[in-house]
Amino acid sequence: MPDNEDDIFGVSEDLVPPAVIKSAGISEVDFDSLLSPPLKLHEDLKNGCGGQLWPAGMVLSKYMLRKHKDDLSGKEMWVCSMNSDGRYGLN
């Protein structure tokens, strides 16, 4: 039986440490030099984990830049994101 009633799985923080809370800020990402100039990102996690760049988004972006860079050149990009509460937003 776990020591803490909230710890239903009995997994120690030594095995899976808590995630580091990132502070709000603006960063630049060039997707391993695939994008020039770099994309400026404003990440803010004050309302949960939804206000950040997710690894799956990085993978998809790198794929699109590697395979479809010429097709995307000169195009506008609309970003549709899903909030942590399941609502969508168009940025």
Based on the structure, what is the number of domains in the chain?
A: 1
**Domain for residue 7, yes or no?**
no
**Domain for residue 14, yes or no?**
no
pLDDT at 89 over 70: no
Task: Provide the domain limits for residue 50.
Answer: 25-90
Q: What is the pLDDT of residue 53?
A: 76
Q: What is the rounded distance in angstroms from the CA atom of residue 61 to the CA atom of residue 55?
A: 10
**Domain for residue 72, yes or no?**
yes
**Domain for residue 13, yes or no?**
no
pLDDT in tens, 14-55: 777 777 777 888 889 999 999 888 988 888 877 766 677 778
Q: Alpha carbon 58 to chain centroid distance?
A: 7
pLDDT band at 58 (very low <50, low <70, confident <90, very high): confident
Q: Which residue in 26, 78, 77, 32 sits closest to 51, CA to CA?
A: 26
